[in-house]
Structure formats: C-alpha cells, structure tokens
Structure 1
Amino acid sequence: MAAVTLLHTKGLSRRFGGLKAVQNVDFDLKQGEIRALIGPNGAGKTTFVSLLSGRIVPSEGQVFFEGEEVTGDPAWRRVRKGIAYTFQITSVYAKLTAYENVALAAQSALSRSGAVRKKDLDRAVAEAIEKVGLSDRARMKAGELSYGHQRLLEVAMGLALRPKLLMLDEPTQGLSDAEIDNFCNLVRDIARTATILLIEHNMPVVMQLADSITVLNAGEILANGTPAEIRANPAVQAAYLGS
C-alpha cells in the first residue's frame, strides 16, 4: 500500500527584504517516516520549518496537512491539528518547574477532548517526562537544568501535545555522547506513533535515524534520497558533506 502524504508544500517561498530565504519549495512528507532536513548554515532550514509550523507566513506558496490547506493558519491552530515544533534555541519557561512546563503542553492537548482531570494531566506529564529521561528532575526549575536537559524538556513538551508531526530543530545540540545515544532511541520510540522531521547538523545521528533526507541549499531543495543516496550524491558532497 502506498504511503500516505501527511504534509505537502507547493511553491513555498519566503523573502526577507532582498534575501530569498526559501525559494519555490515543493516538499512531501510521508506519514510515519523519519525525515532529516540538512544543509549548510544559511540554507533556509529554520525558515522552512517556521513556515511549516506557522510561526512565519510565506511570501508565496501553500502548505497542506492531511490534505487540508493550512497556509493561513497561525501556529496555535496548527498545534491543535497535530503539528508540534521544538525550537533551535530552547523556549522553556525558566521560572517554572520541568513538570509545570510539560503540564502546560499536556493541558492544551487534553483540553481538546473536554474538561481536564488532574489524574489524566499527571499521567500525561509523567509519561512525557519519563520518555526523555527527566523524571528525577521533574520538580527542578527549568532554568536550573543544563542546556542539554532543557533541550530534552522541550522534546517532552512537544510529546505532551500528542503530535501527528513532531519537528525537532537541532535537538542534539548541547547533549553529551551518552545523551545523544539515548536521544536516538527516543526518536525511534516516538516514530511508532508520530511522523518526525529532524533538522540536524550531527551527520552520524542523521545517517543513523533517517529513513530519507532532504538537502536544502540557498533556500532550494538540492537533493532528496535515502542516507546512502545522499552520502553518494556529488552535488551534496560539494555543497555540504565534503569529499
């Protein structure tokens, strides 16, 4: 059976003054896959995922999610439809505990079904925090966590939203080697129930996790393919991977 397209863009573009950050991108993401988005600094990766999440609006083009156009939907509405995005720079609430940060996301997800019961909220928060390995830090203020643990907390917040699509922007930044290994296992676990778009510079992580890879360069798609195909692509080697 053919894979179902979860997200699709058509001619997606974004300009900032004279800078063409994203140029006429047609992009398809299949349900259930782990897709990596890579490219050199300034390639337009973060702008592109910001367009997908609704944090910025396109200059031209369209975004479709589950066959429905969402181009005009703000970020909060896309979250309700199942699109979650963790930022390149952490966006946790420093003065709240790790538990409270995740509870805000979990409450948003649970409220879609009606009144939120405390036991359901506690369960959802505990599950998300346990998945990222922060159970023993649940009562710590988020601002007191290490940078790597703040990154994991943000992933827990994304999980608590119960997304259909989880976009992770540079999630391994600030993690130790052991934490990166645990993160890779976490992504495989998440992929059982959600589609993942991974924006990552750590190429061993990309090659290990991704089912397929999209390469951006100067705001345009340079190549799509499996990890083996991308590694062997001369244009990708010249623009990003090196010889």
Structure 2
Amino acid sequence: MTPLLTTRGLTKAYDGLRAVDGVDFSLATGEIRAIIGPNGAGKTTFVSLVCGRVPPTSGTIVFDGEDITHMPAHLRVRRGIAYTFQITSVFPNLSAYDNVALPAQRTLEDGRAKTHLHAAIMSALEHTGLADRANIQAGALSYGHQRLLEVAMGLALKPRLLILDEPTQGLSDSEIDGFMGLVRDIASSATVLLIEHNMDVVMELARRITVMNAGKILAEGMPEEIRADEAVQRAYLGTENHG
C-alpha cells in the first residue's frame, strides 16, 4: 500500500544546529502513529515541516503521492493536512461555534447552502463532546475544553491527516479517557499523527511509535518493541522526567 506521507532526508537547520536531521519517515493511511522523545528531540519541528509552518533546509515531503516540500501551508490544508498546536490557538472572544465555523468554511467553498455549514460545525462539536457549549465564548471554556475545541477545529477541515501536538496536556484523567476514544473514532476516517508525552496514552493508542532524539529517528516499532528497546530506555523511557 502506498504510504499517505513520506519524508526523505528531511532536515531543518538553525545557525548550524540541526533541529531535524535527515529524517526518513513513512506513515500508512489509517494509522495512529505516535512520535515521542525528550524535549529538544525535534518532534514539533518535524511536524511543523510536514504542515508547512516552517520551510525545510533540505529533503523532501510527499503527501498522497504529491511532492509538497515547498507547498504553502494553506494549500496543504486543502490537501487534507490539519494540525492542532501544542499551545491552544482558539479565538477566545469568539464562541466555540464560530471558532469551528472558520475552518469549516474552507471545506464548503463550492457555495453549498448554510445548512451544510451548520451541519459540519455541529458534527465537529458533537464529535468532541462540545455541542452543548457551542454558544459559549472560547475564552470562558476550561483549558481541557479549549484543547478539545482545537481538535474540533481540525476535524471541521475534514482532514485526511490530523496532527495532534501534546493534545492531552492539561486534561484530567476522565478527559484523557474521552480523548482516547475520540482519537480511535477519528482514525476510522483519517490518519492520526500524535506527539505525546503521556506514555500511557501513547502505548494505549498508537499502532506504531517513532522515537526521536537529537533531531533523528532513534527507533520505530510496535508499542511492545519500543518499550523493550534499550536505546529508547536510555534516551527517554528510562528517565524520571519524560519532559
């Protein structure tokens, strides 16, 4: 099966420091993949390269058979790549409904009726358990609900690839349980790439795990393989602080 996303030799250097260093990566359609690693490993820089937020120094990115290495971020969104940020990026003075309306409008540029837009917005809010908070200002929502609103905004784009950067940060245990169910549900119609520090979430959700360290891929494999990998334990899992 042709991978949905591949990178070859993907590199991002800042004044000689290689934040991402020659990464070869492949992601299958319908997969839930987790990227883990210590702070400074290059995880967020890597997904920022994939979604077009930062340009690569060298290397290539191919999405669904198309070279998108130099494609602007907004065109990648139209191709089906959605990215939720490590820090919440909702519009606090807009309602939850209006926050989701902004990305939803991008999927209805063919002039379909407003009823289609409303249905798309409410579907995304219902998916994330926020339908009953549709008219609440985003800034008045709890931090956990703001994170879920971000996911709803991503879902409104009808993505083929949804990239989630630290989505469970700030969520309660019960909210994390609900989030894991949500991701499994999302994976029935989209591919999910997840950066996550909560190892319980990673081991529970991911079919495969990619471990980054110092800008490079240290290991890849099934959760049980990663848990048993001595190099991974030394670099990441064996430390007391997974930060």
Is TM-score (shorter-chain normalized) higher than 0.5? yes
* CA deviation after TM superposition for structure 1 residue 4, in Å: 3.0
The corresponding residue for 1:43 is 41
For 1:184, the aligned partner's letter is: M
The corresponding residue for 2:190 is 194
For 2:114, the aligned partner's letter is: K
Mapped to 1, the partners of 2:108 and 2:226 lie a distance apart of: 40
Q: Helix, strand or coil for the counterpart of 1:110?
A: coil
Give 5+ residue unaligned stretches, structure 2: none
Q: TM-score, normalization: structure 1?
A: 0.97
Mapped to 1, the partners of 2:98 and 2:236 lie a distance apart of: 40
Matched, 1:140 2:150: no
* CA deviation after TM superposition for structure 1 residue 117, in Å: 1.4
Which of 54, 57, 71 aligns to 1:56? It is 54
Describe how 1:62-73 pairs up with structure 2 within 5 A: 62-73=60-71
The corresponding residue for 1:24 is 22
Mapped to 1, the partners of 2:21 and 2:42 lie a distance apart of: 9
For 1:233, the aligned partner's letter is: D
User: What CA deviation, in whole Å up to 9, does each residue of 1:49-70 have, x standing for no partner?
Assistant: 0000000000010100001100
After superposition, the CA RMSD in angstroms is 0.8
The corresponding residue for 1:173 is 169
Which of 235, 238, 242 aligns to 1:242? It is 238
Q: Helix, strand or coil for the counterpart of 1:4?
A: coil
The corresponding residue for 1:15 is 13
Q: Aligned residues: percent identity?
A: 64
Matched, 1:159 2:155: yes
User: What CA deviation, in whole Å up to 9, does each residue of 1:166-193 have, x standing for no partner?
Assistant: 0000000111100000000000000000
Q: TM-score, normalization: structure 2?
A: 0.97
Mapped to 1, the partners of 2:130 and 2:189 lie a distance apart of: 21
Matched, 1:207 2:203: yes
Q: Helix, strand or coil for the counterpart of 2:46?
A: helix
For 2:203, the aligned partner's letter is: M
Kept after mapping to 2: 8 A contact 1:107/1:116: no
Give 5+ residue unaligned stretches, structure 1: none
Q: Helix, strand or coil for the counterpart of 1:40?
A: coil
Structure 1 segments of 4+ aligned residues over 3 angstroms from their partners? none
